[in-house]
Amino acid sequence: MVISDVLIAVLTWILAVQLLGLGNTVGYHRLLTHRAFVAHPVVRHGFTLLGAMHGGSPVMWVGLHRLHHAKSDNDEDPHSPIQGFWWAHSGWLIGQRSPWLAIPFALSGFGQQLKILWHDVRRVAGRNPPVWRELCPDLMQEPLMRWLDMPFVATGLFVAQLGLAWLIAGPTGILWLWTVHLFLTNSSWSVNSVCHWPRFGAQPWDTRDWSRDVRWLGFLTNGESFHNSHHRYPRSARHALHGGQDLSWWVIKGLSRVGLASELWLPKAFRPKDAPEPQS
């Protein structure tokens, strides 16, 4: 009985990590930020809600990421390692370059959710105006995106997760959820830190920034770690252009085969010979 309970807990942990992680990589990143493909509304809304359960407001997330691409690895980049590895990983979220503060925050698990709450408190107090909306006029046309960008909505989704975890397994459920968020935050942040740090991976493309392709991290990041290739072709629905673990691409490709995704954008040199030119 104990063994079966542990097995169920492990399998549901893996499922939760994959679903919430894909909400970030397929939803927030490739679909919303870069418009790498067109998704059926149910798919678009579903991935957006999964992303919001972990990453906060989609409008703010997308706005920050678009700024990162526009200002990559210069002083205006919100999370460049030119200010230090741990700044790029987690320190930028709390305004701290010191590893002695950035590392505990990275290990806090729920720290990002507390940061989202504090951000919304400051916003309601008029100290944090939503300037990120200026970078996302496309998203601001959608009711779901505007609702998820309202103060305390993302925190409400997190509180709902806590409540469900407690109802299912009490303190053990909270611990289980904490490990999910601990893994997700650090795998996501590693793209900013590890995949922009010169000591890791390779740089097959001259992108005039520090982005790297870190093959061994592909499995943990759903393919996001092929980051130099992504900076060379930001709109590409596939990041592992030269092969490697890219679960996000496999999911997008699978959705296209069942008619739930279309207009998958790939660099011309990497498109199938019979593939039509994407319309948008």
Binning pLDDT at 50, 70 and 90, where does residue 1 land? very low
pLDDT of residue 206: 95
The predicted pLDDT at position 74 comes to: 95
Residue 228 corresponds to which tokens in the numbers above? Answer: 């130099």
pTM: 0.95
In a domain, residue 3? The reply is: no
Instruction: Report if residue 219 sits inside a domain.
Output: no
Q: Is residue 270 part of a domain?
A: no
Model confidence band, residue 217 (pLDDT cutoffs 50, 70, 90): very high
Predicted local distance difference test score (pLDDT) of residue 160: 98
Is it the case that residue 7 has pLDDT exceeding 70? yes
The sign of the torsion formed by the CA atoms of 80, 82, 85, 91 equals negative
For residue 261, what are the β-bridge partners?
A: 39
CA distance 229 to 1: 47
- 262, β-bridge pairs: 38
- Domain with 159 in it: 13-202
274 found inside a domain: no
Domain-located, residue 144:
yes
Q: Does any domain span residue 211?
A: no
Burial 53-77 (b: 16+ CB within 10 A, else e): bbbbbbbbbbbbbbbbeeebbeeeb
Separation between Cα atoms, residue 125 and residue 152, nearest integer Å: 13
Count of domains forming the chain: 1
- CA atoms 114, 116, 120, 126: torsion sign: positive
Contact indicator for 247, 233 with CB cutoff of 8 Å: no
pLDDT of residue 13: 86
Position 277 in a domain = no
Q: 65: part of which helix (H) or strand (E)?
A: helix 58-70
Per the DSSP assignment, residues forming a β-bridge with 202 are 213
Residue whose entry in the numeric block shows the structure tokens 């590895």: 85
Has residue 255 been placed in a domain?
Answer: no
Average pLDDT over residues 136-140: 98
